[in-house]
Amino acid sequence: MILYEYPLNERVRSLLRLEDLFERLDLFAQRDHPQDHHVALVTLFDILDISARADLKLDLLQELDRQRQALGQFRSRPDVSVEALDQVLAQIDSAWTSLNALTGKTGQHLRDNEWLMSIRSRTIIAGGACEFDIPSYYAWQNRPSAQRQQDLASWSAPFRPLYASLAIVLRLLRESAQRSILTAPQGGYQQPMGGRTFQMVQVRVDAQTGAIPEISANKYLLWVRFMTQDGDLRPRPLEGEVQFELAFCNL
C-alpha cells in the first residue's frame, strides 16, 4: 500500500515539508561520498528557508503544551496504559524543553557563517557550486568523510529540537486517524465535510492498481480523483473502480 498525505492547513503543510527535508538530510549525511554530502548541505539550506517562519517555533510549543494537557486527562482511565502514557508525556516534555531553550532566530548560526552563505548563494545557480566557482568548497568535499559528517552534524544540531518537536506532533496527528475502506466508482470520490475541520487527509491505495490520488478539500467537500500514468508517465484520469483507505486526522 502507498500512503498519500494531504495537509489541510498551512501549518501541517510546513511540518510535512520539514519532515521530508530532515529525512533527506539524514539519509545523505550518513553516506560517505562528497556528492551525497553536497545534497545534504543543500537540503540543510532548504530547512533553513522553511524554518525561518517566525511563528513556527511558537506554534510547535503551543501544540506540544496542548497535547500534554490533553493526554494528561487520560491518566485516570482504566483502559489506558499509564506506563505508555508517561513515556509519551516524557517525550513531549523533553521536546518542549529543548525547543523552548532555543534563542534567537532559527538557523541564525548558518546565516552568520559567511562561507556557508556563499555556498548557498552559488547553489541557487544551476551548476554554480562547481570546483572552479568555489575552490574552498571543493577542498571541503575532499576532506575525509568522517570530518564532513561531523561538520554536517554540527550545522544541523541547532535544528534538531525543531525536528524532534514536529516529529511528535505529526506522530500524534497520524495516530488520530479515523480510517474507512471506500470505493471510488469511475476513479472519483466525493464526501461532504459537514462543516467539520480536519488537519490532514490520508489516502492509501494498492500499488498494483497504479492509482494516484489527487486530493482537494475544504470545510464543505472532500474530492479525490484517481489518476494513472501512461508510457511517458503523464498522468491521465483513471476510469475504473478503485478501492482505497481514507483517513481524516485531527488533533
Whether the full predicted model's pTM is greater than 0.85, yes or no, is: yes
From the centroid of its chain, how far is CA 101?
Answer: 22
Which pLDDT value is given to residue 162? 94
Which pLDDT value is given to residue 73? 75
CATH of the domain at 16: 1.10.3900.10
CATH of the domain at 236: 2.60.440.10
**Identity (one letter) of the amino acid at 6?**
Y
Q: At what angle do helices 10-29 and 160-175 cross, to 10 degrees?
A: 120
CB 184 within 8 A of CB 242: yes
129 and 214 share a domain? no
Residue 86: which domain range? 10-171
Which pLDDT value is given to residue 54? 62
150 and 29 share a domain? yes
Q: Is residue 2 part of a domain?
A: no
61 and 113 share a domain? yes
Please report the sign of the dihedral spanned by the C-alpha atoms of residue 42, residue 64, residue 55, residue 157.
negative
Q: Write phi, then psi, for 3 (nearest 5 degrees).
A: -95, 125
121 and 36 share a domain? yes
Distances (CA, A) of 173 to 7, 163, 191: 11, 15, 21
pLDDT in tens, 69-114: 888 777 767 766 777 788 888 999 999 999 998 888 888 999 999 9
Q: Write phi, then psi, for 190 (nearest 5 degrees).
A: -130, 145
Residues of the chain with pLDDT under 70: 54, 76, 79-80
**Identity (one letter) of the amino acid at 68?**
R
Residue 210's SS3 state is coil
d(CA 212, CA 203): 10
Number of domains observed in the structure of the chain: 2
